[in-house]
């Protein structure tokens, strides 16, 4: 997510900055809603996902959440997100060494925690400690995970393991994306992170670049989305219109949206809740901006009355 912030900060030419005109949004009805179809029905793939999680000793669903404090309608709720950059220095994969960045400001009422150490098939090395930090403060919590293009070895390992036809290129990529997500669900449960939703972060991933084949990229994202749903989570998308289009083209999954505004302001983040900033045809839930060296977030209008749908209350 910090990577996204840095990218967004320098994206004035593609419309991701508040100083640029809003990006033209293609009507969802004119956009493809899928690039690859599963060959297993939802019940079969859900049971298979739960069996895989059981094998990893991670099949337990998150514990029941307390009811979040009621908010007055029209009162946006402030929050934050955190991931591997906030881990103590000296951890992480070589391409993503942890930074010891500060945790959220005291004003944050919720924290969305990242599951990966950058790309898929890596773990946030201090997620359990971050969950404990949120729990100790009695905050609301949720989860997000970066999706990334699997390499050849990962496709060879996971390409036939999932609800898609692994005999096709798109099916093998979708299965690899599915397994990225299953690994992330196992991470969620081992860390004890309660979350009703997983936000799929779709953006360029430096050092683990998406390819130029937008359909192939879309298959990976679709596979990940299917796995989170099979594991019992609501699924949303984190991105901007330009970043999403650059990775998966006009794919319109119609999922709830967490919209990034880069190094701008709370006002700009709230503006991203409007129709001009639709990413893939879904409803706006959160806007994000970067300030004071931290990723900060605000709920979109109406979300404040239904926080239990989007967050686990500790």
Q: Per-residue pLDDT tens, the chain, 314 aa: give them.
A: 644 444 443 332 233 333 333 444 555 567 889 888 888 877 777 777 767 777 666 555 555 566 777 677 888 999 999 999 999 999 999 999 999 999 999 999 999 999 999 999 999 999 999 999 999 999 999 999 999 999 999 999 999 999 999 999 999 999 999 999 999 999 999 999 999 999 999 999 999 999 999 999 999 999 999 999 999 999 999 999 999 999 999 999 999 999 999 999 999 999 999 999 999 999 999 999 999 889 999 999 999 999 999 999 99
With 0-12 / 13-18 / 19 or more C-beta atoms within 10 angstroms meaning exposed / middle / buried, residue 196 is middle
Cα dihedral across residues 204, 207, 211, 216: positive or negative: negative
Q: What DSSP designation does 74 have? A: T
CB 284 within 8 A of CB 300: yes
Please give the helix or strand (H or E) that residue 222 lies within, else none.
helix 214-230
pLDDT of residue 43: 73
Domains of the chain, earliest start first: 2-9+37-259+266-313 (3.20.20.80)
Q: What DSSP designation does 136 have? A: H
Identify which of 134, 259, 144 has the alpha carbon closest to the alpha carbon of residue 196. 144
Whole-model pTM: value is 0.87
pLDDT of residue 64: 59
């Amino acid at each position: 997510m910090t990577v996204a912030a840095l990218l967004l900060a320098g994206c004035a030419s593609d419309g991701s900055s508040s100083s640029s005109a809003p990006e033209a949004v293609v009507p969802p009805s004119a956009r493809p809603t899928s690039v690859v179809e599963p060959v297993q029905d939802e019940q079969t793939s859900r049971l298979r996902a739960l069996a895989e999680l059981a094998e990893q000793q991670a099949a337990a669903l998150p514990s029941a959440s307390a009811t979040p404090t009621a908010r007055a309608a029209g009162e946006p709720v402030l929050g934050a997100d955190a991931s591997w950059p906030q881990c103590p220095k000296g951890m992480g994969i070589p391409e993503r060494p942890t930074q010891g960045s500060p945790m959220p400001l005291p004003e944050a009422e919720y924290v969305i925690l990242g599951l990966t150490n950058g790309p898929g098939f890596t773990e946030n090395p201090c997620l359990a400690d971050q969950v404990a930090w949120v729990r100790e403060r009695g905050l609301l919590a949720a989860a997000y995970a970066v999706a990334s293009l699997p390499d050849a070895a990962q496709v060879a390992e996971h390409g036939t393991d999932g609800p898609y036809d692994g005999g096709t290129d798109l099916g093998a990529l979708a299965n690899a994306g599915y397994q990225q997500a299953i690994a992330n669900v196992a991470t969620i449960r081992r860390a004890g992170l309660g979350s009703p939703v997983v936000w799929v972060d779709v953006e360029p991933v430096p050092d683990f670049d998406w390819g130029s084949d937008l359909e192939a990229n879309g298959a990976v994202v679709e596979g990940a989305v299917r796995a989170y749903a099979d594991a019992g989570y609501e699924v949303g998308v984190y991105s901007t219109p330009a970043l999403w289009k650059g990775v998966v083209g006009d794919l319109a999954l119609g999922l709830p949206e967490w919209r990034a505004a880069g190094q701008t302001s709370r006002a700009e983040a709230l503006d991203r809740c409007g129709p001009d900033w639709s990413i893939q045809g879904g409803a706006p839930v959160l806007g994000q901006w970067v300030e004071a060296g931290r990723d900060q977030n605000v709920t979109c209008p109406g979300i404040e009355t239904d926080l239990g749908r989007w967050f686990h209350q500790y």
